[in-house]
Amino acid sequence: MLTHRYALRIALSALAIALLTVGLLTHASTAQRRAPALPSRALSGKLTTLADLHGYAAVVLFWAPDCAPCHWEAPAIERFARSARGRGRIVAIDDDYTSAWRKFLRDYDWTFPVLADQTLAVADAYRILGLPTAVFLDPDGRIASSRSGPQTVVSLTRGLSAAA
């Protein structure tokens, strides 16, 4: 039993280090360049463009319904979106090419715009390496930072504050 717990702790530590490393690499490769255009198809909510976000720090969240960490963070994403700090400042981009997004949105009751990136062209333009990834835009539409892995209300609030 002790060996099993030790192995589990090592595996979880390695996962945390890998997520941190990917997050740092993603940050280094995307920071301070103009944000690419958002997808032109809305799955849910209002079709949102970069022009709609201009003047505000914003979060662009890349996710997919078959991504387990995306399910872990989904309730926190919605809590953040409903908060005064997050209202009108978050757009999610689904890279799934099936209709599984419907069940996901129904299960988590997301109230913010969700756009479709079925060809992954937008994810490639943003240099997304894994899901989920939150990309923080400054008020001028430049990428301020990005963070891979599940987000919390606190991490989203901090990322948005740093981008402002």
Is pLDDT above 90 for 43?
Answer: yes
Is pLDDT above 70 for 66?
Answer: yes
Rounded to 10 degrees, what is the CA torsion of 45, 152, 118, 120? 130
pLDDT of 24 reads: 47
- Nearest-CA neighbor of 131 among 67, 71, 66, 58? 67
How many domains does the structure of the chain reveal?
Answer: 1
pLDDT > 90 fraction of the chain, expressed in percent and rounded: 74
What's the CATH number where 76 sits? 3.40.30.10
What is the per-residue pLDDT across 69-107, written as a single tens digit (0 to 9) for each? Answer: 999 999 999 999 999 988 889 999 998 778 899 999 999
What is the per-residue pLDDT across 102-131, written as a single tens digit (0 to 9) for each? Answer: 999 999 999 999 999 989 999 999 999 999
Whole-prediction pTM value?
Answer: 0.80
Query: E strand or H helix at 161, and its extent?
Result: helix 153-163
Strands (E), the chain: 42-44, 58-63, 90-94, 114-116, 133-137, 143-148
What letter would DSSP give residue 43? Answer: E
Q: Which domain holds residue 145?
A: 2-163
What is the per-residue pLDDT across 8-17, written as a single tens digit (0 to 9) for each? Answer: 455 444 454 4
